[in-house]
A and B are shown apart, each in its own frame.
Chain A
Amino acid sequence: MKILVCISHVPDTTSKINFTDDNTQFDTNGVQFVINPNDEFGLTRAMWFKEKQNASVDVVTVGGAEVEPTLRKALAIGADQAIRVDTPAVDGYAVAKELADVVKNGGYDLVIAGRESIDYNGGMVPGMVAAMTGSSFVNTCISLEIDGDTATATREIDGGKETVKASLPLVIGGQKGLVEESDLRIPNMRGIMMARKKPLDVKAPVGASTETSTVSFEKPAPKGEVTLVDADNLDKLIDLLHNEAKAI
């Protein structure tokens, strides 16, 4: 089985979000970039398929040279080879188009992407790749088993979960649950050394057009002060919630 894990290179979860150039560019100053958390769960699940079912695992990112440390980290965790599509990731559609091309040319049976990336949160790329490649698609996937060319997956739905069967080729939008948090892998010294020798293929983009563009960014209006209520005076809290906030 050939697996492709789509890796999004995102600001780490503690990053302060700021903008430059008259609020048109994300300010990367001092920002640490990481593997998108949803993709990390997927990558670890892919490692499981590699070890238990002898799958091969490639990772791919659409982006400039600055994303390579993130790809190297995925290689250090155990991916066999990495692909970087050499173009900035400007909109979900264009990214999906580039990824779909990699999927078609690579003949992958399973594409694991994250439910969403934690920067733009669009949640569009996995489904678009599925539609563009004619693959089955399961979103918000929290467990995945493959037997021959059939997948059994569980996905999170509002208020519960649902188990589905789907034929390969399959694209999933994965998230926490695909593997336990405690099973997430941290690259060790040996992995890091080996990653240096693994192939990182830089591929020319197909040059997809975009469908959307950011005109400007804004930050939420600053919040007012908290109103503190004495623990011995909870009637006051109820009064505020009822009369001031109109929340109960």
Chain B
Amino acid sequence: MSVLVYTESENGAFKKTAYEVASYAKGIADMLGTDVAAISFNATDAGELGTYGVSKLHNVKEAKLDKFNAGAYADAIAQAAKAEDAKVIVISSSADSKYLGSLLSVHLDAGYVSNVVALPSSADPFTVKRSVFTNKAFSNTQISTDRKLVGLSKNAYGLKENPTDCTVVDFAPSFNDDDFKVEVQSVDKATDKVTIADAEVVVSAGRGMKGPENWAMIEELADVLGAATACSKPVSDMGWRPHGEHVGQTGKPVASNLYIAIGISGAIQHLAGINSSKVKVVINTDPEAPFFKAADYGVVGDAFEVVPALIEKLKAFKAANA
């Protein structure tokens, strides 16, 4: 019996979420007095999994699974959970893991709780805290099934080192035709850009930018900070920016370390999407903008003056701290 964790990888290398869920799973394993086993698809080695407490990696080597496939991944993870007799399975709350989570939950008859933000407050009854109402509240939720599936929110637990020897074993689950019912035809992904989901820093701008032609300075600021760019809903509705950048209740959630909001008023629907970001900075001409109530740091000023000046200052800061 161990805690099983699904560790996401891309082109063979583990993503940061993999180390996060591993760290968290180790926390649960310690509560239960057991070890952490991981499952991954086409990982090229165990990476840092051992550092974060994983003692065994079941690596599925299967060319057909180079691209993410929710059906087949869920089937394989379920088989690994049974092989390990895992009572607790931990996945991320990334878009991909959420996609396969509900399938996995049915395969395993495992009660599933997503968007979990902390270690269980109790192992028996198994009780976890998850965010609800788009981060406006938390629910302490009990899972009553024998097997439990926990989806950990990004950036909620952090990385915790627990050096362990990690052995890699090949794992060969059996697949059936149903696993491949959804077939990927093409992927369109900007590979050189930090994505909102993975970014440590997000630079976001709203209708206060007046028009799409003014986004160059937003991108430059993001560049200097190694940040992803995002926007408010009206900005994507008007087609100034792509839909995928829209942050908020009906858009993407952001859980970055730093969120810089420029020319965004801070409507409740926007704030709902960024509540779990750690440090929030607001730049707005209107001192009454609601965003100032949600922010840690604020500058009352015109974005067209503040942002270029901030870019120059940050460049100097980076050069001095390089």
Q: Which of A83-126 contact B (CB under 8 A)?
A: 92-93, 96, 118-126
Kindly state whether residue A176 has any CB partner on chain B within 8 Å.
Answer: yes
Partner of B183, one of A120, A125, A164, A211: A164
Partner of A164, one of B184, B189, B302: B184
Q: Which residues of B contact A240 (CB under 8 A)?
A: 297
Kindly state whether residue B140 has any CB partner on chain A within 8 Å.
Answer: yes
Kindly state whether residue B223 has any CB partner on chain A within 8 Å.
Answer: no
**Closest chain B residue to A233 by CB distance?**
B299
Tally of A-B residue pairs with Cβ under 8 A?
260
Complex-state Cα separation, A242 to B269, whole angstroms? 29
Report, as a range, how many residues of chain B touch the other chain.
35 or more
**Closest chain A residue to B318 by CB distance?**
A248
**Closest chain A residue to B301 by CB distance?**
A231
A210 to chain B, nearest CB (A): 7
Partner of B131, one of A96, A121, A131, A163: A121
Partner of A17, one of B136, B246, B258: B136
Per-residue contact bits, chain B 66-85, to A (CB 8 Å; 1 contact, 0 not): 00101100000000000000
Complex-state Cα separation, A152 to B183, whole angstroms? 10
B183 to chain A, nearest CB (A): 5
Contact A181 to B237, CB < 8 A, known contacts A123-B102, A164-B185, A228-B298: yes
Complex-state Cα separation, A32 to B251, whole angstroms? 21
Complex-state Cα separation, A141 to B137, whole angstroms? 27
A168 to chain B, nearest CB (A): 10
A11 to chain B, nearest CB (A): 8
Interface size counted on chain A using CB atoms at 8 A: 79
Which of A42-50, A52-60, A212-220 faces chain B?
A: A212-220
On whether the beta carbons of B279 and A160 are closer than 8 Å, the reply is no
On whether the beta carbons of A158 and B114 are closer than 8 Å, the reply is no
On whether the beta carbons of A211 and B112 are closer than 8 Å, the reply is yes
Complex-state Cα separation, A218 to B296, whole angstroms? 22
Which of A67-75, A132-140, A186-194 faces chain B?
A: A132-140
**Closest chain B residue to A157 by CB distance?**
B95
**Closest chain A residue to B294 by CB distance?**
A223
On whether the beta carbons of B142 and A212 are closer than 8 Å, the reply is yes
Q: Which residues of A contact B178 (CB under 8 A)?
A: 134
Q: Which residues of B contact A226 (CB under 8 A)?
A: 282, 292-293, 295-298
Partner of B250, one of A118, A124, A162, A182: A118
- List the interface of chain A (C-beta within 8 A of B): 11, 13-14, 17, 19, 37-38, 92-93, 96, 118-128, 130-132, 134, 136-140, 142, 152, 156-167, 173, 175-177, 181-182, 210-220, 223-224, 226-231, 234-235, 237-238, 240-242, 245, 247-248
Nearest 4 Cβ contacts at the A-B interface = A127-B102, A211-B111, A160-B189, A231-B301
22 A–B pairs (Cβ distance < 8 Å), ordered by A: A118-B249, A121-B134, A123-B102, A124-B112, A128-B102, A131-B106, A134-B178, A159-B244, A164-B183, A165-B182, A176-B246, A214-B141, A215-B142, A217-B137, A218-B140, A219-B138, A227-B297, A227-B298, A228-B300, A229-B299, A231-B302, A238-B314
